[in-house]
Amino acid sequence: MGREVSESCIDSLLTEMVSSYCNRFYSNTPELAARRIEAIGYQVGHQLSERYTMERPRFTDHLEAIKFICKDFWSELFKKQIDNLKTNHKGTFVLQDNKFRWLSRMSGDPSVENGTQDPESKAAQAMSMYLYFPCGIIRGALSNLGIPCAVSADISSLPACSFVIRIKV
Amino acid sequence: MAPVAPRSGDAIFASVEHVNAELFTLTYGAIVRQLLTDLEEVEEVNKQLDQMGYNIGVRLIDEFLAKSNVSRCVDFKETADVIAKVGFKMFLGVGASVTNWDADGTCCSIVLEDNPLVDFVELPDTCQGLYYCNILSGVVRGALEMVSMKTEVTWVRDMLRGDDAFELQVKLLKQVPEEYPYKDDE
């Protein structure tokens, strides 16, 4: 078994990374903060997928690569697989994790609730910022496998989280 | 209420949820790289990493106190020992040692021989002034501030700069007496 650290390490690091980008570096330009957070995820996904596919034969089609993300890749990161995979067979894939770990452990930032804005929407905003990171990871991982795509997240049925992958043709 | 015995760093680390260290290490690396791109100045990156660490330390101290059952340390010596043996171990899974005490017991070094943050890391020449692990010094400073100790934390040795270990000098500047948090007439 590989080396491990406490889960609090990654949770604290991600929370702080998102808050630094959203509240300090790009506090007035959330779209830039989002792009940076996604870029950090992209780098991580790219490197991890390189490592996890080193000793594998090449994937012959998109579905096979996506299945690798759902099973092996997801298990390395979250110790569970994606629960449900759907596709329209036209290059769109929906990967649903019924209990996405990074959301179930995310605690609300108390400073958020002191604002004048509706705390619900602020919390939702913070969560959507946070999700740019796993979206970046998936995009980076697939890009390393030669599959350019766009990835977005849908959290309309929390704690489930769906990642929508649109492969560019 | 009967006092609860403090737990060892190993025991706590064994009982918490774990994640793949690769994910943690690569995420930290990607953050540092992105900061270098966005902030341009290495000095500014050092500062921001320290600030991020400080913010993390301020929050992490609660988890540390809750899981370790550590009661009030009698002096700074005991505090340093607890950070090295319990703190580092329960989060990063690696133990550290404490050395180089000054005569009045207010300054010491925490030495890490193994550091998961730097697995697979090599600094390019353009980043020579970078304190890659500056987030750790921030964490220690932030956590100690929450237990009323103002400290200055600096790197003395850094394996990414060719040294044989990571050495973090922790200097106690001021021990703030704990106050009742509210003032009556304000």
Domain ranges of chain B: 20-175
Confidence of residue A66 (pLDDT cuts 50, 70, 90): very high
Q: According to the model, what pLDDT value does residue A105 have?
A: 64
Closest alpha carbon to A162 in A95, A106, A104 = A95
Is it the case that residue A14 has pLDDT exceeding 90? yes
Chain B residues touching A76 at Cβ < 8 A: 20, 22-23
- In chain A, how many domains are there? 1
Q: What whole-number percentage of chain A has pLDDT above 70?
A: 89
pLDDT of B178 above 70: no
For residue B126, the distance in angstroms to the closest alpha carbon of chain A comes to: 20
- The pLDDT value given to residue B3: 61
pLDDT score, position B186: 46
Task: Kindly state whether residue A1 falls inside one of the protein's structural domains.
Answer: no
- Whether A2 is in a domain gets the answer no
Lowest model confidence (mean pLDDT) among A7-16, B89-98, B116-125: B116-125
Give chain A's contact residues with B (Cβ, < 8 Å).
2-10, 12-14, 16-17, 19-20, 24-25, 36, 39-41, 43-44, 47-48, 51, 76-77
Q: What is the CATH number of domain B20-175?
A: 3.30.1380.20
Is the pLDDT confidence value at B76 over 80? yes
Find the mean pLDDT for residues B51-67.
Answer: 94
pLDDT given at position A118 = 57
Stretch among A39-53, A106-120, A134-148 having the lowest mean pLDDT: A106-120
Q: Do the chains contact at B48 and A20, CB–CB below 8 Å?
A: yes
**CA-wise closest residue to B21 among B110, B94, B82, B83:** B94
Q: What value does the mean pLDDT of chain A take? A: 89
| A83 part of a folded domain | yes
Rounded to an integer, the average pLDDT of A93-119 is 68
Q: How far apart are the first and last CA of chain B?
A: 36
Binary contact (B116, A5; C-beta < 8 A): yes
Tell me whether residues A12 and B59 touch, CB distance under 8 A: yes
- Does residue A127 lie in a domain region? yes
Closest CA to B69 of B7, B14, B147, B1: B7
Task: Provide the pLDDT for residue B127.
Answer: 87
Alpha-carbon gap: B186 to the closest alpha carbon of chain A (Å): 21
Q: Identify residues of B whose CB sits under 8 angstroms from chain A CBs.
A: 13, 16-24, 26-31, 33-34, 38-39, 48, 51-52, 55-56, 59-60, 63, 90-93, 116, 119, 135
Q: Please, which pLDDT band fits residue A159 given cuts at 50, 70 and 90? A: confident
pLDDT band for position A114 (cuts 50, 70, 90) = very low
Q: What is the CATH number of the domain that holds A61?
A: 3.30.1380.20
**Residue-level pLDDT at B154:** 96
With 60 as the cut, is the pLDDT of residue A109 above it? Answer: no
Q: Mean of the pLDDT values across residues B108-122?
A: 92
Task: Please give the pLDDT value at position B179.
Answer: 62
Report the distance separating Cα A87 and Cα A149, nearest Å. 14
Residue A135 phi/psi, 5-degree rounding, is -60, -40
DSSP 8-state class, residue A152: E
What domain range includes position A126?
7-167
